[in-house]
Structure 1
Amino acid sequence: MDPATIRLGDSLTRARPSGAGAIAAITADAFREDPFNRWLFGSFSGMAGVFGALARHVYVPRGFSYLLDDAGAAMWMLPGGDSEPPLAALPGLYASVIFKSSWGARRRTDATVAAMARHRPTFDHAYLFTIGLRPHAQGKGHGRKLIQPVLDACDRAGLPAYLENSNPANRGFYRSCGFERVAMIEVMPGAPPLEAMLRAPGGKLP
């Protein structure tokens, strides 16, 4: 999928490298009360640090990330993109997990990364890493504005889209966008629900 085929429209702006901090800040604020990420990191600063490192080193420079003013953000990896963190990202990631998160976060993150990798589709797809709105912007229809441009591009290209839903409260929204559960990801005993969801081109699975 050529990023040039994604039509963001007037209300969305693709993030440049200088905008990675804004992407990370909005995402962390949006995920502040997310049950899975609260369990995973045990602290807001740890979660924010990980989102910051991944935005700066992976999803802004290599993926397709964009902003809805200062209210919303989305980070995608398009087919053929590399979501493996480079060496430059590791100090920030390790510092956030080991020093800014609660005890046991390293074990939880390692288990989560491995479990997610086992369920990630092997066929070409657009991967939605995060989508989120600051609390004051939620419930106003902005989520559809954020997600729809890439879904439309997937439909034009005949490509599926995939995500891991970390909050059961968001299942209805994703289903309204055409995503369906394909698996529950078992990270470890006691972990909150993490749901693998796939959207076929056109929004309907066979």
Structure 2
Amino acid sequence: MGVPIRRAGAGDRDTAVELLHRAFASDAVSRWVFPDPDQLERDHGTLMGAFFDMAIAEGGYVDLAEDGSAVAVWQSVPAGEHGDDDDPAGFRASIDPDNERIEQIARLTGEAHPKDRAHEYLVVIGVDPDLHGKGLGTELIAGVLARCDRDGLHAYLEASSLRSRALYERLGFVFLGRTVDLPDGPHMWPMWREPRS
């Protein structure tokens, strides 16, 4: 599609968070974290904002399509570290202290997250729901994956649906073999990408 992509700054927070909220409002994982529709509408944006804020504060970055149609939140993770699961209780407290599912998902994804090699972690990527299937997600992350290939960096993510898993497989990600199983909820697929020469 050729949509220009730029690095987002703090001034883009509202645009990015609103887009992520819309992109994931019907996602099975988001609906598991916030099972009540009113709670989803009230608190889901706070979770998306926490991902944005963490990336900006902790040396990560957010890539945004210039027209606001897609956004990707990344963290550069050194070997031995893995981000938001370091303090699942604190993560929960910062978003919704009464929602134990926020702590559960942070803990479970943290346990699955590889720690032995430095990598670029795709925390979350969202595309305007009206524009799904047009290649925006692929275009948005292609630049980061090209840099990973050039610099010999690995990449990691958790796919939240079979549809997204298939997309990531086309981009060179491989399922690590064990799903993250949310209690009485959906599965997530931890996926790893080796740099291509």
Q: Deviations over 1:114-146 (max 9, x none)?
A: 111111111111100011101122111111111
Consecutive unaligned residues of structure 1, counting only runs of 5 or more, are: 1-8, 100-105
**CA apart distance, 1:10:** 7.0
What does residue 30 of structure 1 align with?
A: 23
Q: Check the 8 A contact 1:65/1:75 in 2, yes or no.
A: yes
**CA apart distance, 1:51:** 0.8
**CA apart distance, 1:202:** 1.4
Q: Matches of 1:76 and 1:39 in 2, distance apart?
A: 23
- Quick one: percent identity of the two aligned structures? 27
Distance 1:201 1:38, change over 3 A: same
The DSSP-based 3-state class of the residue aligned with 1:202 is: coil
What is the correspondence of 1:193-204 to structure 2 with a 5 Å cutoff?
Answer: 193-202=187-196
Consecutive unaligned residues of structure 2, counting only runs of 5 or more, are: none
The TM-score, its normalising length taken from structure 1, stands at 0.80
What does residue 4 of structure 1 align with?
A: none
Q: 2:101 aligns with which of 86, 105, 108?
A: 108
What does residue 103 of structure 1 align with?
A: none
Q: Matches of 2:84 and 2:164 in 1, distance apart?
A: 26
Q: Matches of 2:75 and 2:64 in 1, distance apart?
A: 15
The DSSP-based 3-state class of the residue aligned with 2:187 is: coil
**CA apart distance, 1:48:** 1.1
**CA apart distance, 1:50:** 1.1
The DSSP-based 3-state class of the residue aligned with 2:4 is: coil
Over the aligned positions, Cα root-mean-square deviation in angstroms equals 2.6
Letter in 2 for 1:46: D
Distance 1:111 1:82, change over 3 A: closer
What does residue 187 of structure 1 align with?
A: 182
The DSSP-based 3-state class of the residue aligned with 1:139 is: coil
The TM-score, its normalising length taken from structure 2, stands at 0.83
What does residue 71 of structure 1 align with?
A: 69
Q: Kindly tell me the number of residue pairs found equivalent between the two proteins.
A: 184
Q: Deviations over 1:11-50 (max 9, x none)?
A: 0011111112211111111111111111112213321111
What is the correspondence of 1:53-132 to structure 2 with a 5 Å cutoff?
Answer: 53-55=50-52, 57-61=53-57, 62-68=59-65, 69-80=67-78, 83-84=83-84, 94=93, 96-98=95-97, 106-122=99-115, 123-132=117-126
Distance 1:162 1:25, change over 3 A: same
What does residue 175 of structure 1 align with?
A: 169
Q: Matches of 2:71 and 2:140 in 1, distance apart?
A: 7
Q: Matches of 2:173 and 2:182 in 1, distance apart?
A: 21
Q: Matches of 1:115 and 1:53 in 2, distance apart?
A: 18
Runs of 4+ in 1 over 4 A off after TM superposition: none
What does residue 3 of structure 1 align with?
A: none
Letter in 2 for 1:31: F
Q: Does 1:146 align with 2:144?
A: no
What does residue 166 of structure 1 align with?
A: 160
**CA apart distance, 1:168:** 2.0
Letter in 1 for 2:8: A
